[in-house]
């Protein structure tokens, strides 16, 4: 329904404007995470509460707009930190998520929708890599968003300092009619705040803002 999509987009814009957002799908016990992302073809909103150090639950909504075909889904999602590898100068994480809710394609009627999510990342204070995939499916549409990222920090900073990263991301959205997009990005990270800007090789501006609290 258009009213549902309008409410989602208005909430995302408001939360982005007031500076609320998030990073990993699971944080510390009792912590909250909020993420808002926007581009011309996709908008996303996620909010989770971590009730343990390895489990979180919340809401995940996405809107897709490719070739005048508009898909929308909103689900209740549960996330797990399956494994964390801690090293003296590096860390790696493996996450998974499942969700269920509502989805619709275009202006047609809606139906039940499901979500599957997986993420692996590895980073040091100078190197960053990540693989990420989320799949939305309903009787009306299916969308899979897959990304691979690699980047580096031009200088080594402490946690309380402003961290800067230069990232190259490859992204593919199924059923979009588009090829794999390459997206150079600049990422700023300060304490629990995270802001990212990028422009894809086809000229589409991307932004992503997150925070843990």
Q: What is the pLDDT of residue 16?
A: 35
pLDDT at 42 over 70: yes
User: How much is the average pLDDT of 178-206?
Assistant: 93
C-alpha neighbours within 13 Å on the C-beta side of residue 62: 22
In DSSP terms, which residues pair with 207 in a beta bridge?
Answer: 38, 197
DSSP H/E element including 5? helix 2-17
pLDDT at 4 over 80: no
Evaluate if pTM is beyond 0.95.
Answer: no
User: What confidence tens digit (pLDDT) does each residue in 55-83 have?
Assistant: 999 999 999 998 777 899 999 999 999 99
User: What confidence tens digit (pLDDT) does each residue in 155-174 have?
Assistant: 998 878 999 999 999 999 98
Residue 12's pLDDT band, with cuts at 50, 70 and 90, is very low
Which CATH number is 117's domain given?
A: 2.40.160
- Tokens coding 162: 């402003």
Q: 80 is in which domain, residue-wise?
A: 2-212
Domain count, the chain: 1
Q: What is the pLDDT of residue 1?
A: 52
Higher pLDDT, 156 or 5: 156
């Amino acid at each position: 329904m258009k009213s549902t999509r309008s409410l989602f987009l208005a909430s995302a814009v408001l939360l982005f404007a007031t500076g609320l957002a998030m990073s990993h799908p699971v944080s510390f016990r009792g912590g909250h995470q909020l993420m808002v992302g926007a581009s011309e073809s996709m908008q996303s909103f996620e909010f989770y509460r971590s009730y343990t150090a390895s489990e979180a639950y919340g809401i995940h909504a996405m809107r897709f707009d490719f070739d005048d075909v508009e898909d929308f889904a909103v689900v209740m999602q549960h996330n797990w930190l399956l494994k964390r590898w801690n090293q003296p100068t590096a860390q790696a994480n493996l996450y998974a998520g499942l969700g269920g809710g509502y989805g619709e394609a275009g202006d047609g009627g809606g139906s039940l929708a499901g979500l599957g999510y997986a993420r692996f990342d590895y980073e040091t204070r100078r190197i960053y890599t990540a693989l990420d995939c989320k799949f939305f499916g309903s009787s009306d549409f299916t969308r899979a968003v897959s990304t691979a990222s690699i980047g580096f920090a031009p200088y080594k900073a402490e946690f309380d300092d402003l961290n800067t990263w230069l990232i190259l991301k490859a992204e593919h959205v199924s059923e979009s009619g588009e090829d794999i997009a390459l997206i150079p990005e600049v990422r700023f990270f300060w304490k629990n705040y995270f802001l990212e800007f990028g422009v894809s090789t086809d000229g589409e501006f991307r932004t992503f803002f997150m925070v843990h609290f």
